[in-house]
Amino acid sequence: MRSQSKLVAYFISTTLAVTAFGDAAHSSSRQPQNESQAERQAATLEDKCVGDLRTLNVAEIAYEGFHPEKGFTHSLKELGPKGENLVGPLLPTGEADGYRITLRGKGTPVRHYVILAKPVTRLVANQRSYFRDETGIIRFTTEPRAATKADPQIPQ
């Protein structure tokens, strides 16, 4: 079990490093020079939300690795300090970086989960909402609704 814990810890730290690099690339690839303050703030919150979704995906993979008999989690709380302590205290509250985040696991054992992230307050009309599931693909919409599996993927 100890070697499994070290392997999962290594996996998480490596994935978070890659995630940080990906977030920087994602951010710099879509920032026009003439953005308003609200557009810049919305883009910053979107980038942070994408990072949060990646963190949650890594935490779900780790949880499932620790508990193959349970599968993934049913809720954000199971990943936080009062659960497995795989994410910090902010994400399990369901609100982080200007987004309301929900996670729902389906079945027992949980083999499918959905994470939705919607802006708490839309700063601009085209601010993105996000969808992510166990496939790891992040999808988005700029419409004022929850994103779905049918929406386009974020650019990689």
Q: What is the mean pLDDT of each run of 10 residues along the chain (156 residues)?
A: 48 49 46 78 97 97 96 96 95 96 95 97 97 97 97 92
Asked if residue 27 belongs to a domain, the reply is: yes
Asked if residue 99 belongs to a domain, the reply is: yes
Asked if residue 148 belongs to a domain, the reply is: no
Q: How many separate domains does the chain show?
A: 1
Q: Residue 124's domain spans which residues?
A: 2-141
Asked if residue 151 belongs to a domain, the reply is: no
Asked if residue 60 belongs to a domain, the reply is: yes
Report pLDDT for 110: 97
Report pLDDT for 115: 98
Omega before 109 within 30 of 0, i.e. cis? yes
Between CA 98 and CA 65, with CA 81 as vertex, the angle to 5 degrees is 100
Omega before 92 within 30 of 0, i.e. cis? no
Locus of tokens 């690839």 = 29
Asked if residue 149 belongs to a domain, the reply is: no
Asked if residue 154 belongs to a domain, the reply is: no
Kindly state the tokens that stand for 103: 């996670």
Ramachandran quadrant class, 121 (left: phi over 0; alpha: psi -120 to 50; beta: rest):
beta
On whether the CB atoms of residues 55 and 16 are closer than 8 A, the answer is yes
Asked if residue 7 belongs to a domain, the reply is: yes
